């Protein structure tokens, strides 16, 4: 796995395969922790190699952090009380099912962000919520990751492949020849395969589609019927067999690399969804203000400060139910 910082010195990370084994042991013990044989088998596995023990400690730390963070989610304290009070009567397995049902109903998206804590162990490149990183690649290309993103790298003698697991990346690339063979630079998302041709482009993977925006050069979208070229200045939305040109965009697709959100007549509801990608917790607005329009240049370095300045330009107020639960409502004149 590649280091997250090219200049910092850090202890070696346990291999992803070992981390997955540690997670497997943790889940088995959580469901069958009363089995002395299972406990002994886990201890034997931990003692077999220092990577095993390192992975085990990391997974335990992650579990503790998730448990602590879940208690900040509205309604989660009730869920934990149910778990603690019910575990003796129902058994831990049934109580855990009750916990997951209660918490997931209101916080699936929030929890999904914290599960990305595993990405630094299981991905070649990853960023946390609110973090943006830039990496030089072995061929001289540059890979930039937006908030809460993860990607894997697979360079061979025949091709250069980047697998976008989730989130958003920007690539600046050129031609590359290895042993006399020109290797294409490919980006694979859940919805398509893209080939960069001496240029700069952004690929963003949303749950239901992948968005591609080209600022320099060209990108080829590989289809069963043949490649479709995307020229500089063009953007597409790709979902299954549906390809939709994005003729008018309400946000600059690559501004995040400069730490900015640049909007053009953007609905407040859409703006908050975008801003929510850069902060932990739940961010929403009342229906009566969701369609308010917003244009401008906003810095991403401090999302909380950004929220505080919105009432200066819009008739809204920011209501903090907790630090993690924020809702924008119409200001009362």
Most confident region among 52-66, 86-100, 102-116 by mean pLDDT: 52-66
CB 98 within 8 A of CB 82: yes
Asked whether the predicted pLDDT for residue 60 surpasses 80, the reply is: no
Query: What is the per-residue DSSP string for 171-185?
Result: EE----EETTEEPPE
Q: Domain check: are 105 and 134 in the same one?
A: no
Report phi then psi at 189, rounded to 5.
-115, -175
Measured distance CA(31)–CA(224) in Å, rounded: 46
Measured distance CA(151)–CA(157) in Å, rounded: 20
Q: Domain check: are 241 and 210 in the same one?
A: yes
Q: Domain check: are 293 and 228 in the same one?
A: no
- 120, 142, 166 — which closes off a domain? 120
Q: Domain check: are 232 and 193 in the same one?
A: yes
Most confident region among 34-38, 105-109, 122-126, 286-290 by mean pLDDT: 286-290
Asked whether the predicted pLDDT for residue 38 surpasses 60, the reply is: yes
- 193, 222, 245 — which closes off a domain? 245
Asked whether the predicted pLDDT for residue 62 surpasses 50, the reply is: yes
65 located within any domain: yes
State the pLDDT at residue 53.
Answer: 83
Q: Report the range of poorest mean pLDDT among 2-6, 165-169, 196-200, 246-250.
A: 2-6
Q: Report the range of poorest mean pLDDT among 65-74, 101-110, 162-171.
A: 101-110
pLDDT higher at 207 or 4: 207
Average pLDDT of the residues of the chain: 81
Which residues span the domain enclosing 241? 130-245
304 located within any domain: yes
Give the CA angle between residues 147, 149, 155 to the nearest 5°: 135
State the pLDDT at residue 18.
Answer: 82
Q: Domain check: are 44 and 65 in the same one?
A: yes
3 located within any domain: no
Q: Domain check: are 230 and 282 in the same one?
A: no
Q: Domain check: are 134 and 111 in the same one?
A: no
State the pLDDT at residue 112.
Answer: 47
- 100, 120, 140 — which closes off a domain? 120
State the pLDDT at residue 181.
Answer: 78
Q: What is the CATH number of the domain that holds 301?
A: 3.55.50.30
197 located within any domain: yes
Measured distance CA(295)–CA(286) in Å, rounded: 19
Residues near 95 by beta carbon (within 8 Å), at least 6 away in sequence: 82, 83, 86, 87
Identify the H or E element spanning 5: none
Measured distance CA(266)–CA(239) in Å, rounded: 23
Q: How many domains does the chain have?
A: 3
Tens of pLDDT, residues 192-215: 999 998 899 999 999 899 999 999
Tens of pLDDT, residues 219-264: 999 988 888 999 999 999 999 778 999 988 899 999 999 999 999 9
How would residue 100 be classed by pLDDT, with cut points 50, 70 and 90?
A: very low
Q: What one-character DSSP code corresponds to residue 252? A: -
């Amino acid at each position: 796995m590649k280091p997250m910082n090219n200049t910092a010195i850090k202890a070696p990370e346990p291999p992803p395969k070992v981390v997955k084994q540690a997670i497997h042991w943790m889940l088995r013990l959580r469901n069958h922790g009363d089995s002395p044989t299972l406990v002994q088998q886990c201890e034997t596995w931990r003692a077999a190699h220092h990577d095993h023990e390192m992975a085990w400690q990391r997974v335990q730390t992650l579990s503790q952090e998730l448990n602590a963070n879940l208690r900040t989610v509205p309604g989660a304290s009730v869920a934990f009380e149910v778990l603690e009070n019910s575990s003796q009567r129902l058994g831990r397995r049934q109580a855990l099912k009750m916990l997951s049902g209660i918490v997931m109903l209101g916080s699936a998206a929030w929890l999904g962000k914290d599960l990305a804590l595993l990405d630094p162990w299981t991905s070649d490149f990853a960023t946390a919520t609110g973090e943006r990183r830039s990496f030089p690649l072995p061929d001289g290309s540059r890979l930039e990751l937006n908030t809460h993103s993860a990607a894997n790298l697979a360079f061979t003698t025949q091709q250069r492949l980047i697998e976008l697991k989730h989130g958003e990346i920007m690539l600046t690339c050129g031609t590359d020849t290895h042993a006399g063979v020109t290797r294409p630079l490919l980006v694979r998302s859940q919805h398509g395969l893209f080939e960069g041709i001496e240029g700069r482009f952004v690929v963003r993977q949303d749950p239901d589609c992948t968005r591609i925006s080209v600022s320099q050069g060209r990108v080829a979208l590989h289809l069963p019927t043949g490649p479709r070229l995307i020229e500089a200045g063009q953007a597409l939305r790709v979902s299954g067999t549906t390809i939709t040109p994005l003729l008018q965009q309400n946000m600059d697709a690559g501004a995040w690399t400069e730490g900015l959100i640049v909007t053009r007549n953007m609905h407040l509801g859409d703006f908050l969804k975008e801003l929510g990608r850069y902060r932990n917790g739940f961010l929403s607005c009342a229906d009566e203000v969701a369609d308010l329009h917003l244009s401008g240049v906003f810095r991403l370095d401090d999302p909380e400060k950004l929220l505080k300045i919105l009432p200066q330009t819009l008739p809204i107020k920011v209501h903090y139910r907790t630090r993690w639960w924020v809702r924008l409502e119409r200001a009362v004149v």
